[in-house]
Chain A
Amino acid sequence: MASSDPVAGQSLAALAKYGFTELDQALTGLNQLVALIGDSGRSALAHFSLAANPDYALAQLVRLAELDTSAIKKLLRNSDAAMRLIRLIGASEALAEFIARNPDCLSLFDKPRNLIVSYQEMTESFQAEVMTSKATFVASEQVAKLRNTYRRILLEIAIFDLNQKNQVQGLPVIAKALADLAAVSLDQALRIARAELLTQEFGKFEPEEIQATELAVIGMGKGGAGELNYISDVDVIFVAESTNPNLANERMLEIATKLATRLMRAIDSNNSESPLWQVDANLRPEGKSGALVRTLDSHVAYYERWAENWEFQALIKATPIAGNIQLGERYRNALSELVWGSSRRENFVESVQKMRERVTENIPAEELDWQIKLGVGGLRDVEFTVQLLQLVHGREDESVRAADTVTAIAQLAKAGYIGRAEASLFSENYKFLRLLEHRIQLMHLRRTHLMPHKVELQRVVARSVNPDWNAEKLLSEWNEIKLSVRSLHQRLFYRPLLVAVAKAESGFTLSDDQVMDRLAAVGFIDPRGASQHIQALTSGLTRRAQIQRQLLPVLLEWFAKGTDPDSALLSFRRLSENLGESHWYLRMLRDSSGAAERLANALSTSKLVTELFELIPEGAAWLDEPDLLKPKTLEELSNESDSLASRHKDAIAMAKALHHIRRRETLRMALGAVVGETKLSEIEIGLTDLAQWYLSSLADAVITSRQYNDEPLSSLIDFGLVAMGRFGGSELGFGSDADLMALYEPIGSTSVAIAQKCAELIIAEVRKLATDPLLEFEIDMDLRPEGKNGPVARSLESYRAYYSRWSDIWENQALLRARFFYGSAELSAGFGELVDQYRYPKSIEQASIIEIRRIKARMETERLPQGADFNRHLKLGRGSLSDIEWVVQLLQLKHGNDLPAIRTSKTLEALDSLVENGLVQAHDARVLKESWVFCSRIRSASVLWSNRRSDVLPTDRRQLEGIARILEYPRGSATTLEEEYLSRTRRARLVFEKLFYA
């Protein structure tokens, strides 16, 4: 029969047409096949074009023919059976191997199936194989049989799956069958576990006791929802009860726990037949540390008392799948009330947030593009959207509570919560993604959700989905689906809000109540107001309205992530009305990937930002480019003001221009801080530079433009400005005062009296011009000699006289933070030389030290505003800023003369050098620093959040929450922030008391 050239007429090119890639090998293989089984081998050739991996399928077929020539011969005579076999071994190497090990399985290909294997048939197959009668029972043998039977049924399911006319549409049926198979296996595993307990533990437990122990297995996740993958962990929870009053719960649970562990072992321990999959019981109460098995009462008690909100969401899919189903049903009934019950309503928004956080769980970056499940536009996105909609609308509407995704989508559409067209698209996308996942898993029966990286493997996946596809086609189809899914969340959840609000389109529309439900669910406190803003933003025929209609669904989602979605939406509306039709703005919103999201984030967390935006809407442009959010350097600022000065000779006009720049730069830093581009240390320096530049430019403007008795001021005095306090330490925050001192030297023959007048004139003018009604700027000169009663400026000589005769120790202490920043080099040198002898004295008297301590103690009671809580005052409170600064300054006064290294006006730098010089222990310094930084951050955050300066940690929860969010705490952290503040400052206070009064 065999000719010398059995495939004569089959050119290599023709083989390529059948889908082979290794043509020589294919030719050899075909020859071998025909040699073994004759002509039917040749006729099989046509079927390879349907195989996902024809090369592998052929090699396997030859191997099978060698193993069992007659069976293959017989099988290949039936063309349909041949097709089924070749498709299967072409799609699944793992199952092909299984067939090679169990050639009798070949009979499964003989007949086509009209219906998939039923639950009943599965049970019968297992019962025929797995024997648990006592006499012959050996657990490991029965476990092997269980697993072998499982794989045979899996093979049947796969054959059916691959030969469906429409694999995408058939997906739910396959997923259900796979879930059934897992359920039946667990049930059988329990049978084995019982038998095992009866033999092995004989004598320890009485047979009656074991019989009286009922165990129910609750399926969670995909297993519970009846939509399992080819291979994945199966999540379960165990419930047990005693059916005999004489069997106490305690002992019953001991038995039930043994049953459960043996059941799990029957599925996933090592054995001659390899494990099936992991049985994962970690969703149980208290997770890994909780008891494996509980009684029904104990479960209910846990969920009533302890369970976190997200744990209830896991229960949506809980379904009894094995063991005592009645007991399982009682579990489901008892808990379903808790899942959907009205009592959980108050924490609903929080639940949704938690759910979202779990969706955006970190996945390794290199996997991101290949993830079918967790990546952007992946299965998880679909599931999140469906569950969210179920939670929002399922509380009132029982008809949308289905556990599995496909049914849930259909229900949501039927009940009118999503449009039919979207629903069907969504459902198709979901099924397609699942199909991809199935085909990839089927190849090696490995639990994976990653698209293979190799093109050859992608080709196999492509052909298993559609024999006409190649790798490229597969990836492009997949990409389209990803894009579609990515936008579907907005299209399903947010877009209908727009449609309903605008009442524009006909067809599917949400009712008013449903719109309110959804807006409230994502955190809008005033859903009615929100819907008005949405209407205003999206109605009309302008280009802006068109773009906003496109954009608003996603913006709404971003607003909802912030602290104050309501005000964010309002601010967005204002901004948008301000910027009108500016092209760059609309383009930025539409095209730039990050800018719109950063804008939404800033608007929903910071009032300072939203108010500054009203003055400088064009600041929105910086969001496009994170570099533009960095504070400008002193040099950049000076260049800008120099150029202004050359144009504006008039001080008032100049000041106006400077106001604008200061507002603009403040907005820049506020935005940078809110979107997390700029660190606290950068902001402190940026704000200090800005204040310094502002004052210098104003002083320049005054001195160059004003005259005294017709003489230009610049020819009369050499004028200087010194930064004090936090300004001197380069530690300004948002809303900080600028502490200042002023000094001068008369030039030439100018009399001291006239020079003094000139200096006072400059100060008065600078003060006046610095005032900006739209963005407060406060100059504080109270740290000057004699405080409020002293002259606002002095000559160097006058300072010298004052300090040598009158100065109080606290004035010397204040000089530690003095930093000369404006004026001539001579003036700066003279001032430096003068103050150094006071702030770093050769020796300090004990009486002075006592005086400092006394002043500090008095400050705590007297300077604290009426009614303020000492424990919550950020500046003068327990363990807060002034405690830390005073410790540092006392040590600087004591040791600054001997140790030049500790001479600095910056608190943190000073602390570091105090540690290096052994004056403060590293641990103590750390405690002080943590508190100082924390207080500073809270002060700035508080201004960002509310655009109001406050030196007290607020008690209002909403304010605390707002501040916490700016400090990048997760949602709901008001109490955490408060606790952390109180505990850091309490510890700092203990260190303060030790060091300051030591």
Chain B
Amino acid sequence: MDKQRDFVLRTIEERNVKFVRLWFTDVAGTLKSVAIAPAEIEGAFAEGIGFDGSAIEGLARSYEADMLAHPDPTTFQILPWRGEIDPTARMFCDISTPDGVPASADPRNVLRRALAKAANMGFTFYTHPEIEFYLLKSSQIGPEGPIPVDKAGYFDNVPGGTAHDFRRRAVNMLEQLGISVEFSHHEGGPGQNEIDLRYADALTTADNIMTFRTVIKEVAIEQGVYATFMPKPFTEHPGSGMHTHMSLFEGDTNAFFDASGQYQLSKTAKQFIAGLLRHAPEITAVTNQYVNSYKRLWGGGEAPSFVCWGHNNRSALIRVPLYKPGKSQSSRIEYRAIDSAANPYLSYALILAAGLKGIEEGYELPAETEDNVWDLSDAERRAMGIQPLPQSLEHAIRMLEESELAAETLGEQVFSYVLANKRREWSDYRAQVTPYELKTNLETL
């Protein structure tokens, strides 16, 4: 740790860094930033930087305003979009109360706790997300809704298109920030793009996702377009998911791999899947946290609306990707519900907790689903014991309310905050008269 700290202080000197932004995330998943001068960094490492926590959504109650942000030196990076004039760097922070106890409402701490629990069981949790987002001409909404930058589709190469340049620039910037990109391509919807981050431990990944969102927004501004991570901006086009591949490691070996298992899955992997399946409905209010998220989940196409798993089944909630011989390290599963607007810290903490629960309690893995579950009738699905995910935010809130797993993982305070926050959102939404109602009802009634 001290070496990392020294590295940071040295780099600030050498690169003549003028500002350091301290980043952290509120409970809703919004990135917050405090800029400090290099002279303050050493003190920030030693004692943290005080700030008024009550100003941040869900972080603190009004009467315990004082919070300390402790920068994590391992996350130090120079922000590339700031250029060479007044170089600016950033570090992620852990939040603590003035007596040095990790703040229970710091999402990073929630994830840390979940990871520590995994570590006690001998596991490290690795994830790699495929993040989808739309590029729009601007944030203005046209008469037909948002206006995408192009009309291309899945894997289309658009010559001279904005999206291509955009992705090249974004990937470049991400690499400069030390975030490796696995893959990037045009997605199904017009203006929709996907960028896949390389796998890393879940805390790093969550940090990377927060950075990623900022980078994408910055590049968009630079190129005169607008990027959105809204889960479902278009009724007729696919939503933006954040499918996440995940695996558990024991030391340096992949605990999901077993050469003799079905699809080379170990018992651990099967129990993990079973846990995630059983608890998926109750954590959906966090992995899919907005009213709009449910428009994606229930918008058809390949959306994972039903709780089931399959091998290369593109409609399943959990997909077990094809195993490539000799790649035991890359054994993994893919969770497909989570969307691009989720708070990655809380979502990963809950997903991990659900999976670990399956391992602890030795859940049985239900049978694989080979059909496209969307093509089945309700009766067929019922017969096969396939449950739906919550169908609206309200439904999801009701499931979350009763979840001991979520309360324990998020901690009681974050848990009640999330519930209160989501209840408010739902009641605001419920009060709206939507264009749909006007269109269908006004003229006939």
Contacts and interface: CB of A to CB of B under 8 A. Distances in A.
B63 A867 contact: yes
A254 to B, nearest CB: 8
A290 B100 CA distance: 29
Contacts of B5: 343
Interface string A253-297: 110000000000000000000000000000000100111111100
A306 B120 CA distance: 9
Nearest to B48: A346
Contacts of A978: 104, 412-413
A957 B101 contact: yes
Interface string A967-984: 000000011001100110
B122 A289 contact: yes
B1 A338 contact: yes
B2 A306 contact: no
Given A250-B253, A291-B253, A979-B411, A343 B97 contact: no
Given A957-B97, A975-B104, A869 B61 contact: yes
B206 to A, nearest CB: 14
A298 B101 contact: no
B120 A289 contact: yes
A304 B1 contact: yes
B329 A250 contact: yes
Contacts of A979: 104, 411-412
A955 B61 CA distance: 9
Interface string A218-239: 0000000000000000000000
Nearest to B60: A955
Contact of A983 (B121, B402, B408): B408
A823 to B, nearest CB: 46
Contacts of A295: 252
Contacts of B99: 957-958
Contacts, number: 76
A343 B407 contact: no
Contacts of A337: 2-3
Contacts of B158: none
A342 interface: yes
B120 to A, nearest CB: 7
Contacts of B120: 286, 289
Contact of B412 (A347, A974, A982): A982
B227 to A, nearest CB: 32
Interface string B96-134: 011111001000000000001001111000000000000
B416 interface: yes
A341 interface: yes
B182 interface: no
A956 B97 CA distance: 9
Contact of A291 (B61, B250, B402, B411): B250
B195 to A, nearest CB: 27
Interface residues of A, number: 37
Contacts of A982: 412-413, 416
A456 B250 CA distance: 52
Contact of B122 (A249, A291, A958): A291
Given A289-B121, A291-B122, A337-B2, A306 B252 contact: no
Contact of B2 (A293, A341, A869, A986): A341
Contacts of B121: 289
Contacts of A294: 251-252
A286 B411 CA distance: 23
Nearest to A983: B412
B84 interface: no
A347 B329 CA distance: 37
A983 B407 contact: yes
B252 A250 contact: yes
Contacts of B253: 250, 253-254, 291
Nearest to B73: A343
A411 interface: no
B371 interface: no
Contacts of B250: 290-291
Contacts of B407: 983, 986
A576 to B, nearest CB: 30
A979 B410 CA distance: 11
Given A250-B252, A253-B252, A341-B2, A975 B101 contact: yes
A578 interface: no
A871 interface: yes
Contacts of A292: 251
Nearest to B420: A871
B67 to A, nearest CB: 12
Contacts of A974: 101
B412 A306 contact: no
A702 B412 CA distance: 52
B305 to A, nearest CB: 28
A349 to B, nearest CB: 11
B64 interface: yes
B352 to A, nearest CB: 15
A342 B2 contact: yes
B295 to A, nearest CB: 30
A871 B252 contact: no
Contacts of A983: 407-408, 412
A343 B1 contact: yes
Nearest to B1: A343
Nearest to A350: B100
Nearest to B98: A957
B302 to A, nearest CB: 34
Contacts of B1: 304, 338, 341, 343
A775 B1 CA distance: 52
Given A974-B101, A983-B412, A343 B2 contact: yes
A525 to B, nearest CB: 11
A289 B359 CA distance: 14
B63 A955 contact: yes
Interface in B348-362: none
B360 to A, nearest CB: 12
Contacts of B61: 869, 955
A962 B356 CA distance: 34
B252 A298 contact: yes
A517 B252 CA distance: 41
A79 to B, nearest CB: 59
A291 B100 CA distance: 31
B406 to A, nearest CB: 11
Interface in B124-153: none
Nearest to B112: A305
A718 to B, nearest CB: 51
A990 to B, nearest CB: 8
Nearest to B329: A250
A871 B416 contact: yes
Contacts of B98: 957
A572 B100 CA distance: 29
Contacts of B408: 983
Interface in B63-108: 63-64, 97-101, 104
A867 B63 CA distance: 9
A337 B6 CA distance: 13
Nearest to B119: A306
30 contacts: A249-B252, A250-B253, A250-B328, A250-B329, A253-B251, A286-B119, A286-B122, A289-B121, A290-B251, A291-B122, A292-B251, A293-B251, A298-B251, A304-B1, A306-B116, A341-B2, A342-B2, A343-B1, A343-B5, A347-B100, A867-B62, A957-B97, A957-B98, A957-B99, A958-B99, A978-B412, A978-B413, A983-B408, A986-B407, A986-B416
Interface of A: 249-250, 253-254, 286, 289-295, 298, 304, 306, 337-338, 341-343, 346-347, 867, 869, 871, 955-958, 974-975, 978-979, 982-983, 986, 990
Given A291-B251, A958-B99, 19 more contacts: A253-B251, A289-B121, A290-B250, A290-B251, A291-B122, A298-B251, A341-B2, A343-B2, A955-B63, A955-B64, A957-B98, A957-B99, A975-B101, A978-B104, A979-B411, A982-B412, A982-B416, A983-B412, A986-B407
* A-B pairs, 8 with minimum CB distance: A291-B251, A982-B412, A289-B122, A957-B99, A343-B1, A306-B119, A955-B64, A286-B122
